[in-house]
């Protein structure tokens, strides 16, 4: 299958790909494999019981990456994948995913992705997933990502989940289980506009002693869009967890934020902070005094906030 100019632009937007990536990769378009390459230390295998792939990182693998982007360009397509990641003990890898939808028709284009990560003892993983929608058609662009993470003893992960723009509806689920001395950082950045709706649910269970998690959520709701954010930290042993969610609300948008903490152990230290507000007028005036138009000033502030 040959990639078009639109395909290449989508890949650049969601995965920073400009040509064939280094290392292992799997590129999927419209429900089919486009290209794949395993490396000496990272093997990619097709599942036999359902659509999706298994990504197996050998123990001790260092400074390697795997890219697994998905693009949709067919209107009326409902794509579903199940991807499982085995991150071997004492490895240190980068995983880059993401989905871009170009819908030029009048039917819905939808991608549902279920990603399950097993990060073994002492391993480190950075995972980035970007979502983006575009196209001149009237059909909806829908993305429903589900991310499940198990961090074994001493493992660590940094997870970055980003919705850039153009997604009409999304239901996002992120769940993690942390074993002793495991460490997790989740960063979610979300932009909605028009009549778009976004529902995000995060649940982290700190089941092991001295595990820790930090969840940082940033969102912007413009025009008539609607956002719901729910995040729960469960401290079941001696552990530390912090949750913060900050949102900018504009125009006629609506935002609901519900951070929750459950401490099930006397030595569980859990904190949260949440804020919803508009762009400060003095910030706009300062940027406009430097020669920016109001729109340019707003865009600059939003870009910095979501970075």
Q: What digits encode the pLDDT tens for the residues 96-152?
A: 999 999 999 999 999 999 999 999 999 999 999 999 999 999 999 999 999 999 999
Integer-rounded Cα radius of gyration of the chain: 20
Are the C-beta atoms of 196 and 167 separated by less than 8 Å? Answer: yes
Distance of CA 101 to the CA centre of its chain: 15
- End-to-end distance of the chain based on CA atoms, in angstroms? 34
CA distance 237 to 11: 42
Residue with tokens 């506009």: 193
The answer, yes or no, to whether residue 254 has pLDDT greater than 80, is yes
Q: List the single range of 66-70, 138-142, 240-244, 296-300 with lowest mean pLDDT.
A: 296-300
Which pLDDT value is given to residue 283?
77
Residue with tokens 């997933």: 129
The answer, yes or no, to whether residue 300 has pLDDT greater than 90, is no
Residue with tokens 């000033």: 297
Tell me the backbone φ, ψ of residue 284, rounded to 5 degrees. -60, -45
Which pLDDT value is given to residue 1?
60
For residue 155, the SS3 value is coil
- Mean pLDDT, residues 185-196: 96
CA 55, 69, 148: angle at the middle one, nearest 5?
55
- DSSP-assigned letters across all residues of 160-181: EEEEEE--SEEEEEEEEEE-TT
Calculate the average pLDDT of the chain. 94
Are the C-beta atoms of 177 and 184 separated by less than 8 Å? Answer: no
Which pLDDT value is given to residue 146?
97
Tokens (6 digits) for 249: 């609300």
């Amino acid at each position: 299958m040959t990639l078009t100019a639109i395909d290449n632009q989508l890949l650049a937007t969601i995965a920073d790909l400009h040509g064939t990536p280094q290392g292992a990769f799997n590129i999927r378009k419209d429900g089919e494999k486009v290209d794949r390459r395993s490396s000496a230390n990272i093997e990619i295998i097709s599942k036999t019981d359902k659509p999706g792939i298994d990504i197996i990182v050998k123990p001790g693998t260092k400074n390697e990456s795997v890219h697994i982007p998905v693009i949709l360009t067919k209107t009326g397509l409902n794509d579903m994948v199940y991807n499982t990641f085995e991150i071997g003990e004492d490895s240190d890898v980068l995983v880059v995913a993401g989905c871009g939808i170009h819908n030029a028709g009048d039917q819905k284009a939808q991608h549902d992705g279920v990603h399950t990560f097993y990060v073994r003892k002492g391993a480190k993983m950075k995972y980035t997933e970007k979502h983006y929608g575009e196209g001149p058609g009237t059909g909806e662009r829908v993305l429903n990502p589900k991310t499940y993470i198990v961090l074994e003893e001493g493992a660590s992960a940094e997870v970055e989940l980003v919705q850039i723009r153009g997604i009409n509806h999304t239901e996002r689920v992120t769940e993690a289980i942390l074993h002793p001395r495991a460490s997790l950082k989740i960063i979610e950045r979300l932009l909605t506009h028009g009549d778009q709706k976004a529902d995000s649910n995060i649940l982290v269970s700190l089941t092991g002693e001295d595990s820790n998690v930090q969840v940082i959520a940033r969102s912007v709701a413009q025009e008539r869009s609607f956002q719901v954010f729910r995040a729960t930290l469960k401290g079941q042993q001696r552990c530390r967890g912090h949750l913060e969610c900050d949102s900018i609300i504009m125009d006629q948008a609506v935002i609901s934020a519900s951070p929750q903490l459950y401490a099930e152990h006397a030595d569980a230290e859990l904190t949260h902070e949440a804020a919803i507000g508009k762009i400060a007028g003095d910030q706009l005036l300062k940027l406009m005094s430097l020669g920016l138009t109001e729109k340019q000033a707003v865009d600059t502030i939003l870009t910095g906030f979501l970075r």
